[in-house]
Structure 1
Amino acid sequence: MRLFLKDDLPFTTVTAAYQGKATEISDILVDTGSATTVLSADALHAIRIVPLPEDTLHVIRGVGGSELVFSRRMDYLQVGTQKLSDFETEIGGMDYGFEINGILGMDFLSRAEAVINLRTMTIEFYDGDVTV
Structure 2
Amino acid sequence: MQLQLKDSLPFVTVTVGYKGEAVQIQNVLVDTGSASTILASDRVAQIGIEPSADDILYTIRGVGGIEVVYLREVDYLKAGEREVAGFEIEVGGMDYGFEINGILGMDFLTAAGAIINLREMRMDFGD
Whole-Å separation in 1 of the counterparts to 2:93 and 2:19: 21
Whole-Å separation in 1 of the counterparts to 2:102 and 2:49: 15
Matched residue type, 1:21: E
Kindly report the root-mean-square deviation, in angstroms, between the aligned alpha carbons of the 2 structures.
Answer: 0.4
Structure 1 runs not aligned, ≥5 long: 128-132
Structure 2 runs not aligned, ≥5 long: none
- The total of aligned residue pairs comes to 127
Match of 2:99 in 1: 99
Q: Percent identity?
A: 57
| TM-score (structure 2 length as normaliser) | 0.99
Secondary structure at the residue paired with 1:45? helix
Match of 1:87 in 2: 87
Whole-Å separation in 2 of the counterparts to 1:124 and 1:24: 19
Match of 2:109 in 1: 109
Match of 2:49 in 1: 49
| TM-score (structure 1 length as normaliser) | 0.95
Match of 2:6 in 1: 6
Deviations 1:6-48 (Å, cap 9, x if unpaired)?
0000000000011110000000000000000000001111101
Deviations 1:80-128 (Å, cap 9, x if unpaired)?
110000000000000001000000000000111100000110000002x
Matched residue type, 2:64: G
Whole-Å separation in 2 of the counterparts to 1:109 and 1:115: 8
Whole-Å separation in 1 of the counterparts to 2:95 and 2:126: 33
Deviations 1:45-90 (Å, cap 9, x if unpaired)?
1101100000000000000110100000000000011000000000
Secondary structure at the residue paired with 1:39? strand
Match of 2:73 in 1: 73
List, as ranges, runs of 4+ consecutive aligned residues in structure 1 with deviation greater than 2 Å. none
